[in-house]
Structure 1
Amino acid sequence: MSRPHAVEFIGFLSHQEASEIQPASGPLVDKAYLGACARAQEHAGFDRALIAYHSAAPDGLQIAAHAAHETRRLGLLVAHRPGVVAPTVAARQFASLDHFSDGRAAINIVSGGNDAEQQRDGDFLGHDERYARTDEYLEVLKLAWTRSEPFDFDGRHYRVKGHVTQARPLQQPHIPIFFGGSSAAALEVAGKHADVFMMWGEPLAGIAEQIAAVRATAARHGRAEALRFSLSLRPILGATEDEAWARAERILDGVRGRLAAAKLAAKPAAAKSAGPQNEGSRRLLAYAERGEVLDSCLWTGITALTGAASGAAASTGIGGNSTALVGTPEQVADALLAYHRLGVSHFLVRGFEPLADAVAYGRELLPRVRARLAEPLPAEAFAAF
């Protein structure tokens, strides 16, 4: 019996060298660093790399175009915020990238979970209304990618009349759509439109709960079997378990130092009273309150320290994707395989030392997971499927 899905590994590309423990250095757009990271991840065996969206950051499509030029096989997953440009314009932009990259483009739809961040780009819609707009945005986007004849669209947020374009993607039927969000509004859009639903690193029970909820929503649209699932985690590896945990403590000290330098050291009472606006960060904080280590090796130390990047902490570059798997490569591979058995087919793994960790993952982690998946299933595992 075959396994439910092959595994896909997603890395991370940034316009300059920076992380939660390392302030940005070098030029704003560091072409040499970006190229080195893209080539390193391709060589390490990553299938794609995510390029994030932020209102203060350089344009992700142009970063992706440079990374495509520097590589031959690495897929480019570009985060994109609906509402910033018209969906027909975005459709042409991403279709163009798909052609220039020989069919390696993918889009990560980020509707937005922080009002202040949205307003910096002139977006003053509330949370649920943003997801209602995203629903229409994706309808138009997919029509523009797939229709060869002119089409009209008449919605609450978008109206299009007679749109037709030559710029349709190489990939058929359209560019893969990655989508995340833990609120009820987000799950509804995901069930209707997403090819891959993206989740942050929660314990196994939380991931099983999310997968079931999204599949139930997708079933209402006849898409229960169409969805795949991605999980974002921050592996911290060591030659021994003790070495891995010692490194985790050093990383925690580094994050604490950055927050203190920015005068944003987490104050638990204040963080709890204000709290993050997005449901995904609230879920991570709730798990952090249950314990510092969950399941076999899921570590919530940085989540607790930063308040899952609520409020001003997010401005330091410390995002909500803060839970880590800590251990030897074999222990972390075991943890990833446990998620895979729940139905996770994509793993976004990003280190706190981005370039060095990407190389280490390619040497020690990715091959282990793939080798284990290539082994025949033991008889007792058949019941899981």
Structure 2
Amino acid sequence: MSQSSSSATIKFAYWVPNVSGGLVVSTIPQRTDWSLEYNQKLAQTAEKAGFDYALSQIRFTAGYGAEHQHESVSFSQAILHATTKLKVLAAILPGPWHPAVVAKQLATIDHISNGRIAINVVSGWFKGEFQALGEPWLEHDERYRRSNEFIRVLKGIWTQDKFTFKGDFYRINDYTLSPKPLQKPHPEIFQGGSSRAARDNAASVSDWYFTNGNTPEGIKAQIDDIQAKARENGHKVRIGVNAFIIARDTEEEAKAVLDDIIKHAHVEAVHAFGDAVKQAGKASPEGEGNWAKSTFEDLVQYNDGFRTNLIGTPQQIAERIVHLKSIGVDLILAGFLHFIEEVEYFGRKVLPLVRELEAQRAAATSADTSADTREAEAATSAA
């Protein structure tokens, strides 16, 4: 049986394009826009298509094809106002934000949105942002240690009265937040990364762990490691995987779109991004964090989304998604080239196939279980 719940359907999230340039570092024409009007229409389209979550991005400064950026928390709230069911993840960067301020912000938004806000804690990969803001740039594992304290403070403030915390990065003294969030025990806490420190952190404090795109074998190795560590900690964590989805009526059409994106890659921006993120990953003691093994082509989609290979016909993509579920993936975090029309196409053409395949596998598993039970009962009777 997979580490993902066999009865639960796999969930879907999409990257909110609240920064300019879309989700690829390429000069290819895109019908994706970073404006509020576009994003509210996109959120409504995604909600209707069957998406569960939207993830707003956190960027403070221009670079790597993103010349403009809307702030994640306020933008998330604007998306929530335009929807009724979609849950929105606001990306937060420890360092510029204090956890007590975030706890209060999100508790208020939780009430305004009737329990539809969540948080994605980003430990930091962009050194230039920290330098621009006058924030200390910590070593790799120290950034995750700060994130661990950040999350523990969030949980404490959201669930306890007279909360006190004495850490290396944060100090809280007998603090009571009121009102606390509607969601119990607290809003969902997401966290990304691929390094050992990232996995260790998620296996101890996070509700969800996002990893960059990868092959099924590479993803499974990460899942096996993190779930073993989570069990040792008496903790439960669910897994989300990044994927750039190119769904077309034929495989040839989908591959042609991918080739066109890479052909028009913004070479200077891709190399600059690669230098920044690989420096961040290699700074880990093991020398392997996000992007450590990414090629130039991988980095054109800046979370290795091409590597997950959700590129092809609706049937091909649905089968690959259900295979990812079988190895322990609980959520697909999707990026698209032309967001609104491709999200609509995905909801109409791909998602129904996913649900059909899930139902078939669940029925087959149930039949196998029933057969095993009958055999065991027959053996007991014979004895």
Q: Per-residue deviation at 1:46? A: 0.6
CA distance in 2, matches of 1:233, 1:180: 14
CA pair 266-126 structure 1, distance change in 2 beyond 3 A: closer
Alpha carbons of structure 1 residues 86 and 75: separation in structure 2 relative to 1, 3 Å: same
Q: 1:93-242 counterparts in 2 under 5 A?
A: 93-121=105-133, 122-147=135-160, 149-223=161-235, 226-242=236-252
The counterpart of 2:302, out of the listed 319, 333, 351, is: 319
Structure 1 gaps, min length 5: 286-302, 310-317
Pick which of 13-22 and 170-179 moved more.
13-22
Name the amino acid aligned to 1:325.
L
CA deviation vs aligned residue, 1:160-206 (integer Å, no higher than 9, x gap)? 11111103111100111111112222122111111111112211111
Distance 2:251 2:123 in 1: 38
Q: TM-score, normalised by structure 2?
A: 0.82
The partner residue of 2:81 within 69, 85, 96 is 69
Provide the rounded CA distance (Å) in 1 between the counterparts of 2:335 and 2:115.
Answer: 24
Query: Which residue of the other structure, out of 352, 374, 385, is the alignment partner of 2:337?
Result: 352
RMSD of aligned alpha carbons: 2.9
Q: In the alignment, is residue 81 of structure 1 matched against residue 73 of structure 2? A: no
SS at match of 2:332: strand
Q: CA deviation at 1:355?
A: 2.0
Greater mean alpha carbon deviation, residues 124-133 or residues 202-211: 124-133
Structure 1 vs Structure 2: percent identity of aligned residues? 31
Q: What residue identity is the alignment partner of 2:297?
A: L
**Is residue 16–residue 33 contact of structure 1 (8 Å, CA) maintained in 2?**
no
Determine helix, strand or coil for the equivalent of 2:318. helix
Q: Bigger CA drift: 374-383 or 321-330?
A: 374-383
Tell me the amino acid that sits aligned with residue 305 of structure 1. E
Deviations 1:260-279 (A, max 9, x none): 5xx44659xx9699944224
Equivalent position SS for 1:198 = strand
Among candidates 349, 365, 369, match of residue 350 of structure 2: 365
Question: CA separation of 1:60/1:129 partners in 2, compared to 1, >3 Å: closer, same or farther?
Answer: same
Instruction: Work out which of the residue numbers 243, 258, 261 in structure 2 matches 1:251.
Output: 261
- Distance in 2 separating the partners of 1:271 and 1:188: 24
> For residues 90-120 of structure 1, what are the alpha-carbon distances to aligned partners after superposition, in whole Å with 9 as ceiling and x for unaligned?
1011111111111111111110123233333
* Secondary structure, counterpart of 1:18 in structure 2: coil
Distance in 1 between residues matched to 2:202 and 2:92, nearest whole Å: 15
| CA distance in structure 2 between the partners assigned to 1:143 and 1:99 by the alignment | 18
Displacement after TM superposition at 1:248 (Å): 1.8
Q: Secondary structure at the match of 1:46?
A: coil
* CA pair 282-251 structure 1, distance change in 2 beyond 3 A: closer
Match of 2:291 in 1: 282
Displacement, 1:77? 1.1
- Please name the residue that 1:298 is paired with: none
CA contact (8 A) 1:235 1:326 kept: yes
The structure number with the bigger radius of gyration is: 2
Residue 47, structure 1, aligned to residue 52, structure 2: yes
Shift of 1:4: 4.9
- Is the CA contact 1:350–1:358 (under 8 Å) kept in the aligned structure 2? no
How far the C-alpha of 1:145 sits from its partner, in A, is 0.4
Instruction: State the 1:374 CA deviation.
Output: 2.2
Letter in 2 for 1:13: V
Partners of 1:337 and 1:4 lie apart in 2 by: 12
Displacement of 1:332 in angstroms is 0.8
Q: Deviations over 1:70-98 (max 9, x none)?
A: 11111101111112222111101111111
Long gaps (5+) in structure 2 = 62-68, 282-287, 370-383
Q: CA deviation at 1:22?
A: 5.5
Whether the 8 Å contact between 1:276 and 1:282 is mirrored in structure 2 is no
Q: What amino acid does structure 2 have at the position aligned with 1:30?
A: S
Cα gap change, 1:246 to 1:217, in 2 (>3 Å): same
Q: Distance in 2 between matches of 1:159 and 1:124?
A: 20
1:362: how far off? 1.2
TM-score normalised by structure 1 residue count: 0.82
Separation of aligned partners in 1, 2:73 and 2:129: 19
- Does structure 2 conserve the Cα–Cα contact (< 8 Å) formed by 1:146 and 1:173? yes
Which residue is 1:34 aligned to? 39
Residue of structure 2 equivalent to 1:11: 14
Residue pair 2:248, 2:254 contacting (<8 A) in 1 also: yes
Cα distance change on mapping 1:251 and 1:273 into 2, 3 Å: closer
Task: Say whether 1:305 aligns with 2:300.
Answer: no
SS of the residue 1:193 aligns to: coil
